[in-house]
Structure 1
Amino acid sequence: MQILRIDSATTGEQSISRRLTQMITDHYAAKNPEAQIVTRDLVSEPLPHIDPITTKAIRTPTETHEEAVRAAYPAQRAVLDEFLASDVVVIGAPMYNFSIPSQLKAWLDRLGVPGVTFKYSEKGPEGLAGGRKVVIASARGGAYENGTMAENQESLLKTFLEFIGVDDLTFIRVEKAGFGPEAIEAEFAAAKGEIARL
């Protein structure tokens, strides 16, 4: 079993989403002591935003790659292979300016690969990357309800992951980070109960 932990918060030791991804990863590791844990920190080791070379490397057949694209391909494909090799994926996704960190978007951009994680047919798009559990560690400064400003954060992740075939998706939230320490700890207490049920 492989557990993949993705962190994208830029707030270091103050990060709520990093604390949450640690709790979720610890939970799965305790239930599966033999599991291999793979960690990708998108802040300490950022993925560059995609450009014409990396886009070709990600999205076009290898036999069509010219030299620069061929050179870029292994590193781009490694990100996808890491995801596909994982049974559980824990994604730290704080809300930054009503969306996700750009570091996390750069990671997502390497997962949307035609013919590998999705395809189109007469019936429309079909996701091909199911078969794994994905848990989103969602952190927010305020208190939001679905259908409000939070839509740009969680809906983006839900839409994209479901598009590539993820059908086992859970959000664990810690909100009210801007309300002070007591509110944060109350949110973590509630999140701990939700994690225990995973």
Structure 2
Amino acid sequence: MKILHIDSSIMGDASISRQLSAEIVKQLQQKHGADINIEHLDLAQQQIPHLSSEILMGQNAEQSALGEQLIQQYLDADVVVVGAAMYNFGLASTLKAWIDRISVAGRTFKYTEQGPVGLAGEKKVYIASSRGGVYGENSPVDYQEGFLKAVFNFTGVNDIEIIRAEGVNMGPDMKAQALASAQSRIQAI
């Protein structure tokens, strides 16, 4: 089993989404044993340049090679674990840069007469979502989880599980409750 573990939080060791994504990977290792290959992509450390016309048009060989590497990592993964902290109602711009690089017509999706078709194959995605406030599942100001689900669905991935810790900046009791709830969901994987 190949796991692509992506972290995007800028908070380092203080990051809740990083803590949760690491625990998801650990749980998968315990469940599936030694037959696991893990690639960790830390978007706070290995920043991916944001999409530009030069990158989009393939006019930079180095960036084209990086884009191909990111696409292949994504396509090769059986499981994708994404640590996604909410920043200003959305996701980290570094995670958006990764999304822009893997969302490539003819590679992860194609357009047909009936509309777009995802090409990323059957895989499982776990999103470790952390939020300082409480937004709920269908909040009109949540541009994080819905966007991530839409992107993965667009590339053909429909098996998506969100493990959420929200309200983590609303006091120690709320944080403890949010973490306990997320831990319980992780243990059930």
TM-score by length of 1: 0.90
Query: Hey, what does 1:65 align to over in structure 2?
Result: none
1:71 deviates by 4.2
CA distance in 2, matches of 1:37, 1:104: 19
Q: Is the 8 A contact 1:5 1:21 kept in 2?
A: yes
Q: What is the letter of the counterpart of residue 194 of structure 1?
A: R
Query: Hey, what does 1:47 align to over in structure 2?
Result: 48
Query: Hey, what does 1:64 align to over in structure 2?
Result: none
Sequence identity (%): 40
Query: Hey, what does 2:113 align to over in structure 1?
Result: 122
Structure 2 unaligned segments of length 5 or more: list them: none
Query: Greater Rg, structure 1 or structure 2?
Result: 1
CA distance in 2, matches of 1:133, 1:40: 17
Q: Is the 8 A contact 2:135 2:142 kept in 1?
A: no
CA distance in 2, matches of 1:77, 1:137: 25
Q: Which stretch has the larger CA shift, 141-150 or 77-86?
A: 141-150
Provide Cα deviations, 1:24-64, integer angstroms capped at 9, x if missing partner.
0101111122201110100011111011222123xxxxxxx
Structure 1 unaligned segments of length 5 or more: list them: 58-67
CA distance in 1, matches of 2:115, 2:46: 36
Q: Is the 8 A contact 1:98 1:149 kept in 2?
A: no
CA distance in 1, matches of 2:134, 2:105: 36
CA distance in 1, matches of 2:109, 2:149: 15
Provide Cα deviations, 1:105-124, integer angstroms capped at 9, x if missing partner.
00000111111111111211
What SS class does the counterpart of residue 169 from structure 2 fall into?
A: helix
CA distance in 2, matches of 1:189, 1:150: 25
TM-score by length of 2: 0.94
Query: Hey, what does 1:191 align to over in structure 2?
Result: 182
Count of residue pairs brought into register by the alignment: 188
Query: Hey, what does 2:90 align to over in structure 1?
Result: 99
Q: Is the 8 A contact 1:20 1:92 kept in 2?
A: yes
